Amino acid sequence: MMILSVVLTIALLGVLFYHRVSLTLSSVILLAWTAALGAAGLWNLWLLVPLAIILVPFNFTPMRKSLISAPIFRMFSKVMPPMSRTEKEAIDAGTTWWEGDLFRGNPDWKKLHNYPRPQLTAEEQAFIDGPVEEACRMANDFAITHEMADLPPELWAYLKEHRFFAMIIKKEYGGLEFSAYAQARVLQKLSGVSGILAITVGVPNSLGPGELLQHYGTEEQKDHYLPRLARGQEIPCFALTSPEAGSDAGAIPDTGVVCMGEWQGEQVLGMRLTWNKRYITLAPIATVLGLAFKLSDPDKLLGGAEELGITCALIPTNTPGVEIGRRHFPLNVPFQNGPTRGQDIFVPIDYIIGGPKMAGQGCVCWLNACPSVAVSPCHLTPPAA
């Protein structure tokens, strides 16, 4: 009976924790439960005394703060690293949906079940049945992987012609503007035939220049780049990963300094950039580089702080000084992936996605854009496809 009483007590604690019963009511229930077990002769009634002594500090806020919360806080303050600005921005950016309820330990299952089942539109279904099916027919995975180490030229041309790289781009700019579900279905079908084909299509439709431009680009940037991206005239890549920091945006050593400089024969406000990136998917064939770096303004030419923070800019890869290195060969999977470097390269300040007002807002940009991206992990972990 003693073992049973202990098991029931643990179960009672679990019920109280699960339903988040108030501290005061929980204390009363525990004292009453202990008294009942004592009256039944299963426990000693004197257990009420130490239990009450333990519960009293928890139920008086000033005592709880001084005796329990403050010492614990001081202990963790010594061992936990301080929160960086990037981490703070990551926490504050975006919103949560049902997964927030799940992590809070109180999921509303009806909310999840009531969410409508995603459906393909007629246009999306026709794209899967037509161009996607044909692309799968054209892909020979053995030849792609072991003979050419690339997609065949005719398949590249077919992907561009049928706007496979524009599923995420709005129709007003010439894109397909497919739903997240449709994009996932397309990649699912392509990956069943060739992982390299799925990666190649997935990356431009993930969190990169196209998505960031639609959310934060200036009208001039949108009008220039988005139609060209939709037609496959421009091939984008997103350069975040560094040899030392990996994809930890807060630790990247790549820098930009706001300064005046000469651009096309004129003195303009711009940035002097230095970067060294690795494992950037599509970098070997990219025409426009989405670059993440830490921007500083020591002379306060923008009128704000000296250290502005993580910034995203669009750099044409034909800009003098931009270097695209030899292709990587990760896991013996020959998708287009490689390094890019730049040393002390001057570009206009308008190259920042969204213009000067978005200087230092790079982390907020891509974190807020993430919820609308169906395949965002592709640019970080392409072999997973």
pLDDT digits (tens, 9 = 90+) for 71-115: 999 998 888 877 766 667 767 766 788 888 888 877 889 999 998
Query: Does residue 344 surpass a pLDDT of 50?
Result: yes
Tell me the per-residue pLDDT of 274-324, one tens digit each, with 9 for 90 and over.
999 999 999 999 999 999 999 999 999 998 889 998 999 999 999 999 999
- What's the confidence (pLDDT) of residue 97? 84
Q: Smallest Cα–Cα separation from 176: which of 213, 128, 212?
A: 128
- 130 secondary structure, DSSP code: I
Mean pLDDT, to the nearest integer, of 194-199? Answer: 95
Task: Select from 25, 23, 104 the least CA-distant residue to 64.
Answer: 23
pLDDT in tens, 129-149: 999 999 999 999 999 999 999
Question: Measuring CA to CA, which residue among 273, 283, 272, 276 is closest to residue 245?
Answer: 276
Beta-bridged to residue 281, according to DSSP, are 337
CB 58 within 8 A of CB 25: no
Lowest mean pLDDT among 54-68, 267-281, 338-352: 54-68
pLDDT (average), residues 351-358: 94
Token pair listed for 322 = 């931009």
At residue 227, does pLDDT exceed 90? Answer: yes
Residues ≥6 apart with Cβ < 8 Å to 100? none
Residue 86 tokens read as 């990037």
Cα 322 from Cα 340, distance rounded (Å): 7
Q: What are the C-alpha distances in Å from 18 to residues 14, 107, 215?
A: 6, 11, 40
Give percent above pLDDT 90 in the chain: 64
Greater model confidence, 154 or 59: 154
- Name all domains of the chain by residue range, CATH numbers in brackets: 2-83 (no CATH), 123-231 (1.10.540.10), 236-373 (2.40.110.10)
Can you give the pLDDT at residue 156? Answer: 97
Give the model's pLDDT for residue 367: 60
Give the pLDDT of residue 269: 97
pLDDT of residue 103: 86
Q: CA gyration radius for the chain?
A: 28
The pLDDT mean for the chain works out to: 89
Note the pLDDT of residue 332. Answer: 85
Encoded amino acid at 147, one letter: E
Of 207 and 276, the one with more pLDDT: 276
Q: Which two tokens stand for residue 307?
A: 């250290």
| Verdict on whether the full-model pTM lies above 0.85 | no
Cβ atoms of residues 282 and 237 within 8 Å: yes
- Token pair 């970080």: residue: 380
Instruction: Provide the percentage of residues in the chain whose pLDDT is more than 70.
Output: 92
Which residues neighbour 112 within 8 Å (Cβ) at sequence distance 6 or greater?
98
Residue 370's pLDDT is 55
Instruction: Identify the residue with better confidence: 172 or 207.
Output: 172
Q: By three-state DSSP, how is residue 196 classified?
A: helix
What is the distance between the alpha carbons of residues 108 and 87, in angstroms, rounded to a whole number? Answer: 28
Q: Tell me the pLDDT tens digit for each residue of 248-277.
A: 887 899 999 999 999 999 999 999 999 999
**pLDDT for residue 375 is more than 70:** no
Q: Quick check: 281 and 382 in contact, CB under 8 A?
A: yes
Closest CA to 309 of 250, 350, 237: 250
Nearest to 350 by CA among 268, 274, 294, 275: 268
